[in-house]
Amino acid sequence: MGRFRYLKSFFKQYKWYYAFGIFWLLVVNGIQMFVPRLLGNITDQLAEGLLDGSDLVRYAIILASIGLLMGVSRALWRIYITGSARRLEYFIRTKLFLHLQKLSPSYFNRMKTGDIMAHATNDINAVRMAFGGGIIMMTDAIVLTVITTILMLAQVGWQLTLIAMVPLPFLALGVVSFGKVIHRRFKRVQAAFSSMTESVQENLSGIRVVKAFVQEDEEINRFKKSAQEHVDKNIHLIKIWGVLQPLVQVISTLSVILIIMFGGIAVINGDISIGDFVAFNTYLTLLIWPMMAIGHVINVLQRGRASMDRLNTILDEEPDIYDGDNALDVDVKGDVEIKDLTFKYEDGTEALKNINLKIKRGETLAIIGRTGSGKTTLVNLLLRLANPPRDTVFIDGVDINDIKLKPLRESIGYVPQDNFLFSTNISGNIAFALKDYEQKQVEEAAKFAHVYDNIIEFPQKFDTMMGERGVTLSGGQKQRVSIARAIIKDPNILILDDSLSAVDTQTEEEILRQLKDIMKSRTSIIISHRVSTVKDADEIIVMDDGEIVERGNHEELVDKDGLYANLHYKQQLEEKLGSA
């Protein structure tokens, strides 16, 4: 059960569905067994001239009833087994998505989206097929083989049955050794599919860059190469599959040849009747199906196994950001303190060195610094999108690692650098964090973020769809929708990560003035490259290479005549040149 450990609860819940389905499958198998004997009897009675018209009608009615019963039973097992397999697919898919939601951003930095998508489609399908068609074929193959063999033994004796069975061990041997190769080749097909999906996904996400750099032909070639790789791997798989199928067929036909020869002799010698011979041959045709199915069953089960292994590697992935056993349900007020914080990413990059900070509720901290100086890293730690070392980051005096993630993140309004919006309407995007909302709230947030006038110019106003199916907002409009999304949460801590860079200075000033108003008793952290954005903050820190190199208010920093002052004069000059 180890491999299928994540499916335990599903099978516990649906065991009766499977049992019921298998029951009806067995009913079909059982009824099927009457047919050869019935045909044998009809043959013998016809040969002996014992049947008249009414007997034939009787047999026809019996055969028709058997057909009807088999039809109903088949429909029932299909509904129960195939239906359960579809439920299993839903179960795994939901489990996987749920698990992915728990994993930390570092996992998604490591993994390719295309790979994850391939798991969510191909691998889940393969597991579903193993527990749908695979189970049906396996049960069918085993039951039919056992019952048919017993009936053959009972009706024509062990000698003939043994002769018919001679080819079977060769069949089993062939199938098992082929199965291993199929497993290996199937894994390669899946890997090729992943990388093909990944390349398409990346291309479509970056389509604007591709076009701007006129790289369409190169991209097409790259895609052709990975699609070709996928086909090649599939053909490689089909080759072995193609050899296995006829091999199984040849071996099973051998059985028929042996029976015709030896069974024929037995009839000639009068050891068995013609009816027995007909029945035996029909049993053999029943037996040939499972023999041929074995190859397919093995294939389906091998694929299911390989796919489950791949799914297990994701499901086994432990989230590294989670609520500890003693995590507190803190009602975050907004006092932030950072003590001697040094932070390294998994790859060893030291993004922050010896950071010390105190932001009291009601204050605004501004962070300014060159790209790559560690600004985003610092706010990521405050949101616990990465884990800070213990005893370094405190909120309201509590180590952030001891605060439950939900209340922590719910109390923070975050406007990320990358203003990602979802493919839903504008209202849905602004009210993203709210379960219930009134349109008035959305409109107020939009007004606050100075994007209201833009929105009502769209024909569908707040119902305008975003993203793929809808309008594309300008960079500045996106930033402001993003600000509205953070502000509507009424957060106690507001973090703007370079969120006003695409907004003109006048609008920026108005937004900041309003912010000052509503953030009076809350905490604000504003990251920017522009002095104009940060100049009114209570404290400004200047970061360089992961360290705070200057700190103070605007006037103090200008007086210091250091990095900040330099930036200030440069930007003042740029502004003058721009307005000249």
Q: What residue ranges bind ligand ATP (CB under 6 A)? A: 109, 345, 347, 349, 351, 369, 371-377, 417
- Give dist(CA 332, CA 493) in Å, integer: 9
Name which of 272 and 542 has its Cβ closer to ligand ATP.
542
Name which of 281 and 373 has its Cβ closer to ligand ATP.
373
Query: What's the closest the beta carbon of residue 346 comes to ligand ATP, in angstroms?
Result: 6
Query: What's the closest the beta carbon of residue 217 comes to ligand ATP, in angstroms?
Result: 32
Query: What secondary structure does DSSP assign to 315-350, as a single string?
Result: HTPPPSS---TT-B-------EEEEEEEEE-TT--E
Query: What's the closest the beta carbon of residue 530 comes to ligand ATP, in angstroms?
Result: 12
Query: What secondary structure does DSSP assign to 246-278, as a single string?
Result: HHHHHHHHHHHHHHHHHHHHHHHTTSS-HHHHH
Strand partners, 296: none
Check if the beta carbon of residue 365 is closer than 8 Å to that of residue 359: yes
- Give dist(CA 456, CA 454) in Å, integer: 6
Name which of 157 and 372 has its Cβ closer to ligand ATP.
372
- Give dist(CA 494, CA 113) in Å, integer: 30
Element (H, E) at 120: none
Query: What's the closest the beta carbon of residue 209 comes to ligand ATP, in angstroms?
Result: 18
Check if the beta carbon of residue 336 is closer than 8 Å to that of residue 395: yes
Query: What's the closest the beta carbon of residue 525 comes to ligand ATP, in angstroms?
Result: 12
Query: What's the closest the beta carbon of residue 201 comes to ligand ATP, in angstroms?
Result: 20
CA of 406: how far to CAs of 97, 331, 434, 483, 511, in Å? 19, 11, 14, 20, 28
- Give dist(CA 193, CA 234) in Å, integer: 10
Name which of 45 and 106 has its Cβ closer to ligand ATP.
106
Name which of 104 and 215 has its Cβ closer to ligand ATP.
104
Name which of 255 and 376 has its Cβ closer to ligand ATP.
376
Query: What's the closest the beta carbon of residue 497 comes to ligand ATP, in angstroms?
Result: 7
Query: What's the closest the beta carbon of residue 548 comes to ligand ATP, in angstroms?
Result: 12
**What letter does residue 437 receive in the DSSP assignment?**
-
Strand partners, 564: none
Name which of 347 and 453 has its Cβ closer to ligand ATP.
347
Query: What secondary structure does DSSP assign to 457-523, as a single string?
Result: HSTTGGGPBBGGGSB---HHHHHHHHHHHHHTT--SEEEEESTTTTS-HHHHHHHHHHHHHHTTTSE
Check if the beta carbon of residue 539 is closer than 8 Å to that of residue 553: yes
Name which of 40 and 369 has its Cβ closer to ligand ATP.
369
